[in-house]
Every structure is written in C-alpha cells, then in structure tokens.
Amino acid sequence: MIKVVETKPFEGQKPGTSGLRKPVQTFQQPGYLENFIQSILDVSLADVKNRNAVQLVVGGDGRYYSSQAIQTIISMCAANEVGHLIVAHNGIMSTPAISAVIRARNAHGGIILTASHNPGGINGDFGVKYNCANGGPAPDQVTNEIYARSKQIKQYKRLDPSMPDVDVGRIGQHVVKHSGGEMMVDVVDSVDMYLNLLKAIFDFELLRKFVSSKRLLIDAMNGVMGPYVRRIIVQELGASADAAIRCDPLPDFGGHHPDPNLTYAADLVDKMRNGPYDLGAAFDGDGDRNMILGAKGFFVTPSDSLAVLGENLERIPYFRRDRVKGYARSMPTSRAMDQVAKKTGLKCYETPTGWKYFGSLLDAGLVSICGEESFGTGSDHIREKDGLWAVLAWLSVMATMPDDQSNSVESIVRQHWRTYGRCYYCRYDYENCDARSCETMMSTLAAKIAANQLPKTIESDGTTYHVDEAFNFGYTDPVSGEQASNQGLVIQFNGGASRVMFRLSGTGSTGATVRLYIEQMEMDAEKAINGNQEDYIRPLAKVALQLSCLSEFTGRQQPTVIT
C-alpha cells in the first residue's frame, strides 16, 4: 500500500557545495531524510509525464545509516511511481561510478548517499545529493528548487513500512509490487562496468607492463574505493596485493577522517617516506578525490597534478582520439593550469568551487580536463571528479616517458616547473569555528574590498606587497548564462603574481570552516625548482591574516589543516 504521510518542514535542508551533509543524528530524526528525498523527487520528476519510464540510480559510500536510507529511498521511489531503480550492490558504489552508470543507462538521475570526505559512523556525518541525467551534480537552479520545496513540504509518500526490504545484497532483478503498480529494482555491481569505461580510456597493456616494474601503494582509506582498487589496480594491472591498503569499506571508515590530504592520510605519507614505493595515492570516502605522492613521499599539489595531466593529456589514448578541447579549474585552484593553456592556445575556464560548475562546460564540449585544489581531478569521460582515473592518468604519463629517472613523479613535476614556472600554493583550513564570527569576518572583508579600503601596500618579512586588485568572485556560466555571486574573496598583489583567497566551506556539517588559499607564482626556472615553499607562503599568509583579522574574528591562532 502507498501511504501518504503528513510532515512538517525541517530547517536548513539547503544543499551545500555538494549535497546536504549533516550529522547522522540529524538524518535519523523521523521524517528528516523522507522530507529531503520527497523534495528531490518532487523537483526532479516535476516535468515527467510517464514516471514508469523513469530510471534512477541509487548508491553511495556505504557509510553508517546508508542501509536504512537505501530502503527508505526504495520505498519512496516506488510510492512516487518511479518505474525503475538501479541500486548499488550492498548500497556501495563510488561517486564517479554512479556518474558513469547514470550516463551508460540513460538514467533520469541519481541519488548519492555520501558525505564524501567527512567522517562517518554514528557520530559522523551522512549526506544526500542529487545528480542529473548528465551524471553530474545538480546545478544551483535545481538545488535551490529542492531547498525551496523542503521549506514547504507537507507530506511525503512511502510504501507501508510492513513491506519487506529489497535484498540489496543479491545482485539481479527484484520487483517491488504496490497498490499503484510495480517498480523494477536492478541490484548491480559497478566495478566491472567502471573498469570497462577505464579500458576505453587508457592503454591497459602498457599500464600492466609499467606496473609490473614499479611499486605502488594505494590507500582506499576504508572508503568505497577498496573493491575498485583490488579489482583494477591489483587484479587487472597486476600490482602486488599489499599495494592495496585499507581496502575494506567500513561504515565509520575505521574511525578515520577519509580525506586524502597530508594531515588525514599521514599514515600513507609516512609509509611512502620510509618505503620503496614509486607512486602512492589515496582516495576519499566516496572515491572522487585523490592525492598523488611520489617516491619518498614527494607531494603533488592537486593544482600541479591538474596542470601536469593537462600538459600530458595526449599520452592517454582517449585524448589522442578525441582532441583536447580546453581546461577548467575552480577559482581558488592555482593558475598552473593557465600556464599550460597559454602554451597550447586553449582556453582555461575559471569557475566557482564545486564540481557542478564544470558540468555545462563539459556537456558543451568546451573542456576535456578539469580540477580543483580540493584534491579533485577529472575529465569529460563522466561528470564527477574521479580519483582512480587520476591515478591511471599519472601512471600513463609515467609509462609513456623513458623509463629512467626522468619518469618519476618528482622529476615530472620538476620538469613541469622548469617549463611553466611554479605556483607555490598552500591552503589553510580553520575547521569548526563559530559560524557567526566567520560570516562577520567575511562580510567585513567584503565591505572593505567593496569600499576600496584595503591598504595599498603591505610589508611582510621583507617583501612588499602592492594590492592591485580585490574582488568578490562572481561567475556567469558561458553556456547556460546562469550566475553565481559571492563565491569567495580574492586579493591580488604585485601584478597578479601573488593571490590570497578566502571562502567559507560549503561541505561542513557543523559550525563553519574558513579556507584561506595562498598562491605565489614564480616564473624563474631555477627559483621554481629550488625555492623553499615556506619562504614563498609565509609572508603572504601573514598579509592575508592581517587583512582579514582572521585570528581576531575566529579566535584561532593556527589552522587545523594545512595542505
């Protein structure tokens, strides 16, 4: 029986940078998940004439509360007369794989259960996001409609709770019969399908040969990537079984913070520093982020990783077949990619933070590769960032170079700096601060910028910084014409060579996180290769802290995470 349940709106169901992320306890409130799912269905099915023809994909990173949430979603989709669901085996499917499945099956969209890199477990976070038919995160217009709907919702539909659960542990077709008809549920394992997609992009024979002579260390951080790493890196490419670490997906990620950066993947960094490995990588909870490390723990900043891959795209068969169209990066991502674009003559688009802003550029065929400073890299093969794709891309670059010292991760990056200059880059995160103080800090700085009240020059550690441009970043999508304002504060110095940027994170679930991004370009080849990161970043960081009065507003003297 289909039940119509009376409900009242919950406050704050506004999707952030990528979906609605809240503590598990918030999602466990009766009706909370149901309200948000009903809002998604109301908006995404609003123009659908024949709901029976609609296919939706449902899966996620397997974090705590996923199993219950999946059964609720199955029940609600059936009650809302959706014809067909494709559900991940045991509920586990990486975000890039979901994007791929939506595209491969011509699905109407997908509901992804993840809070990405946020901690999981009963005291951690849960999250829900909606992806559209192109396989990418819903654009602002859609998430705004979902939020508006969540504020007015009065009822949701579900099947009678006495209905048996669908066994998502059994791969194959299931039928959910109800008073309004029936819904097909396909429980699928995406690993093979995703592997086939990668096989159409990369030269697996070449990669197999290369991997047989190298030592890899790939850390799935007990997130969703474990099965993909075992199947693709170990079984298919022939890496040794001990190259795959923390590969069992756990509902609480083993108590760790599944965020592939120098702080939260410190174990991997240590193992790389002290071990015999040539390439190390880590992924986040849902498998879209990646961190790349070279031998002895050489860290590749995500911005440099993007630029190096952008420079070398034609080493990958997919991009040799289908010409490289252009590049994109988010505003706070370093301008290393832009330097490559200057040489190739292709355009590099600058978008707000959030993968959703790349979607229209990729759909319109304007961009082949895009990336973000937040450990995201991807291409037009899907509409999400793709951690494993990035690892295979790096292996492809290394494998197509002479197999001597010059094809190590570090040599490739240093050679890149020699050719294109280097963007010394650092991000400071001040996590879980008081939200109101952070908002006041941002609005005070924004007001100073708007009133042209920043000092003209600032001295810091013997360097003089001339403020030459300061603005609140806004964006007009060149394809859809959609506008996004208030996307971060940017202050540029010394002809644009130095930049500091401030944003409030849109992915946290409690309090506020201030992100301070610091970038210093160095075009002199010698200084680019041999300079000291600290010497470039420290004085600029002091300037940023002085201009923003960050410590005064937040009470924080030190960032929680530095990457």
Residues with a known catalytic role: 116
| Rounded CA separation 54/11 (Å) | 30
Cβ proximity to ligand G16, 108 vs 515, nearer residue? 515
Residue type, 436: R
Asked if 245 contacts 275 with a C-beta cutoff of 8 angstroms, the reply is no
Quote the crossing angle between the two packed helices 204-212 and 387-399, to the nearest 10°.
70
Q: How far is the CB of 118 from ligand G16 (least distance, A)?
A: 7
| Rounded CA separation 133/354 (Å) | 18
Closest CA to 563 of 376, 427, 412, 441: 427
Number of H helices, E strands in the chain: 19, 27
Closest CA to 58 of 165, 174, 187: 187
Residue type, 554: T
CA atoms within 13 A on the CB side of 118: 29
Q: Which residues bind ligand G16 (CB under 6 A)?
A: 17-18, 116-117, 284, 288-289, 353-355, 372, 374, 376, 505-507, 515
Cβ proximity to ligand G16, 15 vs 83, nearer residue? 15
Closest CA to 559 of 433, 448, 419: 433
Q: How far is the CB of 511 from ligand G16 (least distance, A)?
A: 13
CA atoms within 13 A on the CB side of 559: 17
Cβ proximity to ligand G16, 139 vs 354, nearer residue? 354
Asked if 391 contacts 281 with a C-beta cutoff of 8 angstroms, the reply is yes
The H or E element containing residue 175 is strand 172-178
Which tokens sit at 459?
A: 């001295």
| Rounded CA separation 360/362 (Å) | 5
Which tokens sit at 261?
A: 């950066």
Q: How far is the CB of 95 from ligand G16 (least distance, A)?
A: 7
**Full 3-state SS string of 61-74:** CCCCCHHHHHHHHH
Residue type, 390: A
The H or E element containing residue 519 is strand 512-522
Residue type, 154: K
| Rounded CA separation 167/185 (Å) | 10
- Strands 369-372 and 376-379 turn out to be antiparallel
Query: What radius of gyration do the chain's Cα atoms show?
Result: 23
| Rounded CA separation 214/210 (Å) | 7
| Rounded CA separation 442/438 (Å) | 6
